Amino acid sequence: MMKLTILGCHSATPKENKHTTSQLLEVKGKFFLIDCGEGTQIQLRKLKIKFSLIQHIFISHLHGDHFYGLIGLISTFRLLGRTTQLNIYGPKGIKEIITLQLKMSNSWTDYSLHFHELSSPNSEKIFEDDTICVSTLPLDHRIYTNGFLFTTKTVKRKINSKATESLNLEPFHYSQLQNGLDIELANGIFKENKELTLNPEPSKKYAYCSDTAYNKKLISLIKGVDLLYHEATFLEKHADLAKKTKHSTALQAAKIANSANVKKLLLGHYSNRYSDKKDFIKEASTVFESILLSEDLKTYSI
């Protein structure tokens, strides 16, 4: 299971109680930060998580509402005495911006800071460990922009302790069972794997797509994901503005969700011009059913 907390879901300029884009994804006790608008570190403090558990930050593009909080977060990590490595994934140029500011302030980090600069126009795997795989989702925006697809790995089969408790199994038996193998007991009796194990939690997929014009190329990359976050900066009545600024309307986001047959759609990146967010649901639900609205500091289970 993944847990997604929205730190900010508003576009363009931050205001009191309206934070620009940032999200925190939790996967088995590991935290992945996605985008980092100004003030993200203050939002993060409210969650009271241990900052050192954030070891990977993914930046979609170099518009300010998606990364102006990054330099402050990097500095705060240093001031708090961080020692664990930090990895930043983002467009080419991000390293220059951050290191220039560290250089000018003579404030190099004491922890190791790794930049993984992206420039490919195609989807590529950019991170993988034993629990998750992250790949890019090329988006269609005014500057080079990627969304990110987070896919949890199918974990080992679960031991059915009720079924195994009377069998006096050795440690290697458990390992065999977790790996899906049948086992031979000490007395020579064979046991089928399915008798002694339960199905593992299925792999989960979260697709993050902000910012982007309506982009059909996305559909094949996000087929059937459990949750799609898709920007909906505008409503259809401002479709001309959406086209001009290479953003999407709520309807367009829903069309992508529908075509990709995703399980749930989460809308966000609202323009400040709309006061009633229910209009986004109303518009999107004409073509897709299962819709959620992002709210700052709200958590969504995936």
Q: By C-alpha distance, which of 23, 5, 30, 33 is closest to 130?
A: 30
CB 147 within 8 A of CB 209: yes
Report DSSP letters for 112-166, one per residue.
-EEEEEE--SS--EEEE-SSEEEEEEE--SSS--EEEEEEEPP-PPEE-HHHHTT
Q: How far is CA 112 from the centre of its chain?
A: 23
Least separation in angstroms between residue 48's CB and a copy of itself is 11
Q: Is 189 in the site for a copy of itself (CB under 8 A)?
A: no
Catalytic annotation present for 65: yes
91 vs 268, which CB is nearer to a copy of itself? 91
Contact pattern for a copy of itself over residues 270 through 299, marking x by CB under 8 A: ------------------------------
46 vs 158, which CB is nearer to a copy of itself? 46
Residues 65, 211, 226, 296: which is the catalytic one?
A: 65
107 vs 131, which CB is nearer to a copy of itself? 107
Q: How far, CA to CA in Å, does 207 sit from each of 128, 168, 170, 197, 266? A: 16, 44, 41, 31, 10
Contact pattern for a copy of itself over residues 141 through 160, marking x by CB under 8 A: -xx-----------------
Question: Applying CB under 8 A, which part among 1-9, 12-20, 81-89, 156-164 lies near a copy of itself?
Answer: 12-20
Q: Which structure tokens are listed for 203?
A: 């792999």
Site size for a copy of itself (CB under 8 A): 35
Q: Is 80 in the site for a copy of itself (CB under 8 A)?
A: yes
How many whole angstroms separate alpha carbon 278 and alpha carbon 62?
Answer: 29
∠ CA 208-211-216, rounded to 5°: 80
Q: How far is CA 282 from the centre of its chain?
A: 25
5 vs 164, which CB is nearer to a copy of itself? 5
Using CB under 8 A, pick the residue from 49, 62, 167, 181 that binds a copy of itself. Answer: 62
Using CB under 8 A, pick the residue from 71, 133, 281, 287 that binds a copy of itself. Answer: 71
Least separation in angstroms between residue 26's CB and a copy of itself is 21
State the Cα torsion 103-104-109-115 to the nearest 10°.
Answer: -50
Q: Which residues are near a copy of itself by CB under 8 A?
A: 12-16, 38-39, 41-42, 45-46, 62-64, 68-69, 71-72, 75-76, 79-80, 91, 93-94, 96-97, 100-101, 104-107, 142-143
